[in-house]
Amino acid sequence: MSEGLEAIRAALACDPALYEGVVRTERAWEGTIFSVEHLEVELSDGSRAWREVVRHHGGAGVVAVRDGRVCLVRQYRVALGRMTLEIPAGKVDPSEPREVCAARELTEETGLIAERLELLTESYGAPGFTNEHTSVYLAHGLTQGEASLDEGEFLNVVWVPLEDALAAIRAGLIDDAKTVSGILAAKAYGML
């Protein structure tokens, strides 16, 4: 395969030999943050299979750096049963622009206000079973305001030297997908 973005676009084009056509959808569960569907799909060889898919509104996060330190939030994640370090982020409200969500979450969780947000990367955390899509932005022109956490939200803000954050990603200590992709993208693009 040749190099360049055109080769990557070609690799992402629909391939009838790999395509799965949805034959039937059954809503299995509906929650406030996501829903679960069972999909019957027809495979390229004509056989059928079932897929379980989590539908989610998605989220947005912000890489905020000041004086060579990246702003992370420290919180307990019950799904993992442990503490995590993550960039400030949250779920997108229905019909809310992603950049608005990112700015809102940055301020709510940390009190930081960004003069401008620049899109760094887009990611799907687990495309094998969910359509959850996260947009990650880089904050420019930070000023400090007041945090206002959501009811039932408990976290601490920590400022980690960028080089330590990169070492923690490599060591698997920072392992949240949006945080890893955001910090690495900003570094790779020469923005940090």
Amino acid letter for position 42: E
Q: Give the pLDDT confidence of 107-164 residue by residue, as tens digits.
A: 999 999 999 999 999 999 899 999 999 999 999 999 999 999 888 889 999 999 999 9
Q: Is the pLDDT of residue 35 over 50?
A: yes
pLDDT of residue 4: 87
Percent of the chain past pLDDT 70, that is, above it, reads: 99
User: Is there a catalytic annotation at residue 151?
Assistant: yes
* Burial per residue of 110-140, b for 16 or more beta-carbon CB atoms within 10 angstroms, e otherwise: bebebeebeebbebebeeeebebbbbbbbbe
List the catalytic residue out of 3, 6, 115, 151: 151
Geometric angle at alpha carbon 121, from 116 and 126, rounded to 5°: 135
Tell me the average pLDDT of the chain: 93
- Quote the CA–CA distance of 11 and 46 in Å, as a whole number: 23
Smallest CA-to-CA distance from 75 within 157, 147, 136, 132 is with 157
pLDDT of residue 1: 45
pLDDT of residue 2: 54
